[in-house]
Amino acid sequence: MCGIVGYIGKKNAYPVILTGLRHLEYRGYDSAGIALFSDGIKVHKKKGRVSDLEKFIEGKDVSGTIGIGHTRWATHGEPSDANAHPHATENGDVAVVHNGIIENALTLRSFLQSRGHVFSSETDTEVIAHLIEEMENEKSKSFFDSVRRALNRLVGAYAIAALSVREPGTMVVAKKGSPLVIGVGEGEFFVASDAYPISEHTKKVVYLEDGEVAALTASGIVEIRTIENEKRTPRVKKIDLEIEALEKDGFDHFMQKEIFEQPCAVRDCLRGRLSVPPKKAPVLNLGGLRDVEEKLFSAERFVFLGCGTSWHAGLIGRRFFETLTRVPSIVQYASEFRYEDPLVRDTDVFVAVSQSGETADTLAAMKLAKERGATVLGVCNVVGSSVAREAHAGLYTHAGPEIGVASTKAFTTQIAALFLIAARCAEKRNALGPRRFGELLETLRGIPEKIGDVLGREERIRDIAERFGETKNAVYLGRGISFPVALEGALKLKEISYVHAEGYPAAEMKHGPIALVDENMPVVIVAPRGEHHEKIVSNAEEIRARKGKIIAVVSEGDASFDSIAEDVIEIPECDELFSPFLSVIPLQLLAYYVAALRGCDVDRPRNLAKSVTVE
Ligand code: M6R
């Protein structure tokens, strides 16, 4: 949510920052802006996309070897030129870009106005610029110190990059609750909200910790201190990322590319962790869990935390854990968890699921679970992200960068990682016989190929999407492990095509929602073969009797929907426990094609951002 980019060195900062902003546009795209330092600070900002900013800047002075840039997802104040970042003081002496939310912005604004500061936007961020100026006026010993002291007055979350005319060769950056990475080059530094835009320039990075402030000049990191003024030593890490991973590779949209990457992504998630030696039992090697094995294998309860798609993955994870380990498991919305004064025991193991690893609600929930004595695992995609660093242990999903706002490969790799952890716990607890354990892991190993098989049915799903026409509502149904898949299918459709869609457990329909069904209502039923298959066939009959238009996702060769459904999409036969890996794929493709055929901006749907780093 909001992307920050900064450059300080010998090159012209503008192209470096502009390219970085393009890479970070998935984080927000309401407006964009740049501040460049050359003979004072020059701010250029515009409502709209980074491309709108680029057009706006054409012909203007973009000289300068120091600069900061921002792509915004609005929190305080509507998307507009005035509310776009960077925010500068009225004399233009200080400029700031910010990602996060300042909770005491109104109080600070009144205080600063009483001190004569004039505001030109409705944002919370602008108070930071004025507060820094206030500290500069109070004669801090350096610009760094002004920023540090200003940050002490803020309540909330932030990652910031700031410039001041007082020290033309310095950029000050800070982080608390929102991500910020510093790339270390030769005589130059890069700053960004995630490591990808940096990776094309350098593989050496410093991940700022919460509450740290750093001063950068072209010749080095001058200092890192906590906002309380304790000295810190920068820890330089090597990253293994390639910027090429951020290209569309001939696909029309990132979402489409990412749907098709799933066989490979799931394989990468299993790689090195699951091996099946010839004629021997499968072996699990989950090094990421080593530090917490004792707690993990004796846990009395598993609690899954996540938001959106990651919460849906948690619902499936819960089922994996209960089925395989027989340990009671629950799932919580991370955004609700900490407001419920939750009961947490030191025998609980929490599993925080997050693609970005930066979701503010998930992070806050994990912190609370830790404070109350639980062991916390992280299952996330972005290496070095806050969830990864906050967790006691965990697994990366290794899905590769996910740019499309709608999560696809994040979901299938999250459930793959959760299955691995559940299977390892079951193995250690002797909860499964060796035969069943072997069968399950063999099946898991074959999943990427089967996902590829479903992707081969793309044309058929596109045809169905064409027939969706101008439908404004849809219902998604599933039972048991297919219910979270129905929820995920409905979320995909609504977030990218703006078609109102609801997911329900199929048997709940007759308790109310069936009143919605008429001849115009598409009802997507997720019904792979399984223990209670005949029950969902009956639920489908109930829909059909009300003239609903059924699209059924069924196992290969299952004819039970032939006379009930308008359209049937087959997925390969597999143990029902693994069916979400396969049944979710047609739902992702359906949502994708409905949105694409309606001309929606698939990768950047309205009102959304990829990573929600505010509460
Ligand atoms: O990065 P996270 O997995 O923590 O993000 C959680 C949700 O914001 C995310 O899954 C969101 O619901 C997606 N847009 C769904 O496609």
pLDDT in tens, 12-25: 999 999 999 998 98
Residue 428 is a catalytic residue = no
Together in a domain, 156 and 205: yes
How far away, in angstroms, is 147 Cα from ligand 1 center?
32
Do residues 366 and 350 lie in contact, with contact meaning Cβ atoms separated by under 8 Å? Answer: yes
Portion of the chain with pLDDT greater than 90, in percent: 79
Report which ligand 1 atom has the smallest distance to the Cα of 408: 16
CATH number at residue 168: 3.60.20.10
Given this model, what pLDDT does residue 491 score?
98
The more confident residue out of 384 and 52 is 52
CA-nearest residue for atom 12, ligand 1, is 308
Last-in-domain residue among 200, 227, 244: 244
Residue 354: pLDDT band (50, 70, 90) is very high
What pLDDT, in 10s, does the model give residues 490-529?
Answer: 999 999 999 999 999 998 888 988 888 888 899 999 999 9
Together in a domain, 345 and 471: no
What pLDDT, in 10s, does the model give residues 448-500?
Answer: 999 999 999 999 999 999 998 788 999 999 999 999 999 999 999 999 999 99
What is the amino acid identity at position 446? Answer: G
Q: Rounded to the nearest 10 degrees, what angle do helices 409-428 and 308-325 cross at?
A: 20
Angle subtended at Cα 443 by Cα 441 and Cα 448, rounded to the nearest 5 degrees: 110
Say what the alpha-carbon torsion angle 366, 371, 374, 380 is, to the nearest 10 degrees.
20
Together in a domain, 239 and 266: no
What pLDDT, in 10s, does the model give residues 235-267?
Answer: 898 888 776 666 777 799 999 999 999 999 999
Q: Which of 42, 47, 176, 610 is catalytic?
A: 610
Given this model, what pLDDT does residue 91 score?
94
Last-in-domain residue among 244, 263, 287: 244
Q: Ligand 1 pocket, 381 CB below 6 A?
A: no
Q: Which tokens belong to 30?
A: 């309401």
How far away, in angstroms, is 183 Cα from ligand 1 center?
26
- Give 38-45's long-range contacts (Cβ < 8 A, gap of 24+): 38/63, 38/64, 38/65, 40/92, 40/165, 41/88, 41/92, 41/93, 41/94, 41/95, 41/163, 41/165, 43/86, 43/88, 43/92, 43/95, 45/81, 45/84, 45/85, 45/86
In a domain, 229, yes or no: yes
3-class secondary structure for 47-99?
Answer: ECCHHHHHHHHCCCCCCCCEEEEEEECCCCCCCCCCCCCCEECCCCCEEEEEE
Given this model, what pLDDT does residue 295 score?
96
Total count of domains within the chain = 3
CA dist., res. 135 & res. 107, Å (int): 17
How far away, in angstroms, is 411 Cα from ligand 1 center?
9
Report which ligand 1 atom has the smallest distance to the Cα of 492: 16
In a domain, 282, yes or no: yes
Residue 69 has pLDDT above 80, yes or no: yes
Residue 67: pLDDT band (50, 70, 90) is very high
How far away, in angstroms, is 312 Cα from ligand 1 center?
10
Tokens 């999409």 appear where? 569
From 255, 258, 305, 307, the mutation candidate for ligand 1 (largest count of ligand atoms within 8 A of CB) is 307
From 258, 316, 351, 407, the mutation candidate for ligand 1 (largest count of ligand atoms within 8 A of CB) is 407
**Coil, strand or helix: which one is 101?**
strand
Together in a domain, 40 and 168: yes
CA-nearest residue for atom 11, ligand 1, is 308
Residue 400 has pLDDT above 80, yes or no: yes
What pLDDT, in 10s, does the model give residues 419-446?
Answer: 999 999 999 999 999 999 999 999 999 9
Given this model, what pLDDT does residue 610 score?
75
**Of 331, 324, 384, 333, residue with least CA distance to 357:** 384
- The H-or-E segment that residue 207 falls in is strand 204-207
**Of 300, 329, 301, 327, residue with least CA distance to 317:** 329
Enumerate the β-bridge partners of residue 241: none
From 255, 304, 309, the mutation candidate for ligand 1 (largest count of ligand atoms within 8 A of CB) is 309
As a whole number, mean pLDDT of residues 305-329 equals 98
Angle subtended at Cα 440 by Cα 436 and Cα 538, rounded to the nearest 5 degrees: 100
In a domain, 450, yes or no: no
In a domain, 193, yes or no: yes
How far away, in angstroms, is 417 Cα from ligand 1 center?
17
**Coil, strand or helix: which one is 453?**
helix
Enumerate the β-bridge partners of residue 333: 306
Q: Ligand 1 pocket, 378 CB below 6 A?
A: no
Q: Ligand 1 pocket, 375 CB below 6 A?
A: no
Together in a domain, 191 and 256: no
CA dist., res. 381 & res. 356, Å (int): 6
In a domain, 452, yes or no: no
CA-nearest residue for atom 14, ligand 1, is 406
The whole-chain average pLDDT of the chain stands at 93
Given this model, what pLDDT does residue 177 score?
82
Together in a domain, 226 and 255: no
Q: Ligand 1 pocket, 100 CB below 6 A?
A: no
Residue 280: pLDDT band (50, 70, 90) is confident
Q: Ligand 1 pocket, 413 CB below 6 A?
A: no
CA dist., res. 494 & res. 19, Å (int): 30
Residue 41 has pLDDT above 70, yes or no: yes
From 193, 310, 403, 614, the mutation candidate for ligand 1 (largest count of ligand atoms within 8 A of CB) is 310
CA dist., res. 212 & res. 201, Å (int): 24
Instruction: Give Cα 478 to chain centroid, integer Å.
Output: 25
As a whole number, mean pLDDT of residues 269-292 equals 89
Residue 609: pLDDT band (50, 70, 90) is confident
Tokens 């598409």 appear where? 522
Together in a domain, 50 and 115: yes
Residue 307 is a catalytic residue = no
Given this model, what pLDDT does residue 321 score?
98
Residue 277 has pLDDT above 90, yes or no: no
Whole-number Cα distances in Å, 474 to 407, 491, 550: 20, 11, 10
In a domain, 451, yes or no: no
Residue 75 has pLDDT above 80, yes or no: no
Is beta strand 348-354 parallel, antiparallel or unpaired with respect to 329-333? unpaired
Together in a domain, 204 and 260: no
3-class secondary structure for 349-383?
Answer: EEEEEECCCCCHHHHHHHHHHHHCCCEEEEEECCC
CATH number at residue 260: 3.40.50.10490
Together in a domain, 464 and 440: no
How far away, in angstroms, is 611 Cα from ligand 1 center?
7
Given this model, what pLDDT does residue 1 score?
67
Range of the domain at 268: 248-445
In a domain, 563, yes or no: yes
What pLDDT, in 10s, does the model give residues 97-110?
Answer: 999 888 899 999 99
CA dist., res. 197 & res. 246, Å (int): 9
CA dist., res. 75 & res. 70, Å (int): 14
How far away, in angstroms, is 599 Cα from ligand 1 center?
23
Together in a domain, 580 and 493: yes
In a domain, 420, yes or no: yes
- Half-sphere exposure at residue 237, Cβ-oriented, CA atoms within 13 angstroms: 13
Together in a domain, 339 and 430: yes
As a whole number, mean pLDDT of residues 223-231 equals 94
Given this model, what pLDDT does residue 276 score?
81
Given this model, what pLDDT does residue 144 score?
96
Together in a domain, 178 and 222: yes
3-class secondary structure for 526-543?
Answer: EECCCCCHHHHHHHHHHH
The more confident residue out of 615 and 359 is 359
Q: Specify the length of the chain in residues.
A: 615
Q: Ligand 1 pocket, 577 CB below 6 A?
A: no
CA-nearest residue for atom 7, ligand 1, is 308
Last-in-domain residue among 244, 277, 311: 244
CA-nearest residue for atom 4, ligand 1, is 354
Instruction: Give Cα 388 to chain centroid, integer Å.
Output: 13
